Amino acid sequence: MLDILMSVLVAGLTTGALYALATVGLSLVWGSMGMLNMAHAAMLTLGGYAAFTATTTLGLPVFAGFAAAILFGAMAGGLLYVLIVRNLLKNDKATFESNVMIATVGIGIALENTILLTYGGQPLKQPLSVDGILKLGPLNLPYQNIVIILVVVVMMAVIALLLGKTRMGRAIRATAQNRDAAQLMGVAVNRVYFQVLVLSGSLAGICGVMVSSMTQLSPPLGNDPMLKAFIMCVVAGLGNLPGAVAAAFGLALLEAFIQYVAGARWGFPSLLFVVIAVLIWRPSGLFGRTQIRRM
């Protein structure tokens, strides 16, 4: 009984770590620029495939695979800003929220389909994965899960430092709090937007490598973690980073337990019920600030 419980716990923590990484990328973009990036899923997939190409086709070492994933994710984020977001910001501010959502949906489809056309639809094995199991008494810990949790913890620390200690992080936080005030104080808001999208793109790249090392590489790889990351963002309140991480771990554990108790089929629907219940109780999420809008 105990070992089953432990394995459910390990599985829940690992997926929680993955979701946390995906959620932070989304939440960062939403918090600082009010943009819901529907192309995040495709950027995740792009990172996974970039690592695959670098290590398998080009025969580069593992480290270069990671670097390729980060690089391609960052490039996708940068291009998204240059081609889409910059142009949409010129239009009416009131329509930006829905327009950017529709535009990124289009970009997401196009990117996913490009990957499908380049690599084909058959699942591929992610070479950046570790085999083997660490045995600790009754506990069976696959090395892969340990690696994932470690990488995610390191990434979280890097993001926290970046946001908390650097000049760029201060600018991002200032823009998130009040865009107009930040701009008046001399923060180059457009540059902040660019930086945020690049940062979130590189996070998506790493997350893609991690997700594909748990399962397999396939073009719709990013969609499932992304949908769950959306739910976690909403439960936590969009734009709240610590809340997003907490919600990711909490909901992933809940999902793992429900999948064990009631069968894999009910994992996602139960998350949906949680999110509906939370939203009826608190419409802007558990930790979200209730926005007071001035007309």
Binding mask 75-104 for another protein (x = CB under 8 A): --------xx--xx--xx--x-xxx-xxxx
Smallest CA-to-CA distance from 163 within 43, 285, 27, 18 is with 27
3-state secondary structure of 50: helix
**How many CB atoms are located within 10 Å of the residue 83 CB?**
11
18 contacts: CB under 8 Å, gap ≥ 6: 148, 152, 207, 210, 211, 214, 225, 252
111, 210, 236, 244: which one binds another protein (CB under 8 A): 111
- Whether the Cβ atoms of residue 55 and residue 236 lie closer than 8 Å to each other: no
Number of residues lying near another protein (CB under 8 A): 47
214 contacts: CB under 8 Å, gap ≥ 6: 14, 18, 129, 144, 148
Closest contact distance (angstroms) between CB of 3 and another protein is 27
Residue closer to another protein by CB (options 32, 129) is 32
3-state secondary structure of 142: strand
Residue type, 158: V
| Spatial separation of the C-alpha atoms in residues 235 and 212, rounded to whole Å | 25
Closest contact distance (angstroms) between CB of 104 and another protein is 8
3-state secondary structure of 124: strand
Binding mask 229-248 for another protein (x = CB under 8 A): -xx-xx---x----------
Residue closer to another protein by CB (options 160, 287) is 287
Residue closer to another protein by CB (options 86, 165) is 86
Closest contact distance (angstroms) between CB of 36 and another protein is 5
274 scored as a contact of another protein (CB under 8 A): no
| Spatial separation of the C-alpha atoms in residues 224 and 222, rounded to whole Å | 6
Residue type, 182: A
| Spatial separation of the C-alpha atoms in residues 3 and 10, rounded to whole Å | 10
Closest contact distance (angstroms) between CB of 259 and another protein is 12
Residue closer to another protein by CB (options 140, 284) is 284
Residue closer to another protein by CB (options 214, 227) is 227
Residue span binding another protein (CB under 8 A) among the ranges 132-140, 189-197, 244-252, 276-284: 276-284
Residues engaged in binding another protein (CB under 8 A): 30, 36, 83-84, 87-88, 91-92, 95, 97-99, 101-111, 113-114, 117, 223, 227, 230-231, 233-234, 238, 264-265, 268-269, 271-272, 275-276, 279-280, 283-284, 293, 295
